[in-house]
Amino acid sequence: MKIFELLYRIVLLPHLFLYYRSRNKSQIDQDIARWAEKRNLKHSNVSLLLKFLTYSPDFRTLFYFRNKGLFSSLLNIYCRKEKYFRIDASTKLGGGVLTGHPYSTILNADSIGENLYVNHLVTIGEVNGKRPTIGNNVSIFTGAIIIGDITIGNNCVIGAGSVVVKDIPDNSVVVGNPGKIIKQNGVRV
């Protein structure tokens, strides 16, 4: 282990207090498992947590979101989250979130299910105070925009650059501006 990594992990030890005391520990465990699977890593959750906190500001953003409060804010002073990845405080966010360098990504939904994949330059936002609801196992790629009082079903893929302003049923692939379903239930539409 590199000296820097060892020292940084020591500095990160207060995060373990948050992890063990978190009301959202099961969701954090889902996040850890998804990140570990993507990177083909097999270690204890504590070791993986420290590794992801060390190297991934976007993981820190998720971690602090799941542990809102004064202590998280204090830890963020020296262990910064990704400042261009924002999750609205009132968003209900399921576990197993995986990010692909979410620079300039905003998650502002009523709820987002489990196993979300989100890339950079994604905006999930409100129109006239109404926000989207997003199901489980949804992947949202670069530059996609999902806004308004709409529902994105389970197992959907929102293609890069898509603008989605209407409900999308389960098992759909959406591309374009405006977003158009090109595949549903494995069949081209």
**Residues labelled as active-site residues:** 101
| Residue 35 CA: distances (Å) to CA of 16, 38, 58, 79, 164 | 18, 5, 11, 19, 27
pLDDT of residue 149: 98
**Sorting pLDDT into bands at 50, 70 and 90, what band is 179?**
very high
Q: If you average pLDDT over residues 170-180, what whole number do you get?
A: 97
Closest CA to 10 of 48, 55, 54, 43: 54
Asked whether 98 and 116 are in contact (CB, 8 A), the reply is yes
pLDDT of residue 60: 95
**E strand intervals along 39-142:** 85-87, 92-93, 98-100, 105-107, 111-112, 117-119, 123-125, 133-134, 139-140
The model's pLDDT over 18-68, given as tens digits with 9 standing for 90+, comes to 999 999 999 999 999 999 999 999 999 999 999 999 889 999 999 999 999
The model's pLDDT over 61-117, given as tens digits with 9 standing for 90+, comes to 999 999 999 988 888 888 899 999 999 999 999 999 999 988 999 999 999 999 999
Does the predicted TM-score (pTM) go above 0.85? yes
Q: If you average pLDDT over residues 165-179, what whole number do you get?
A: 98
Tokens 């959907």 -> residue: 156
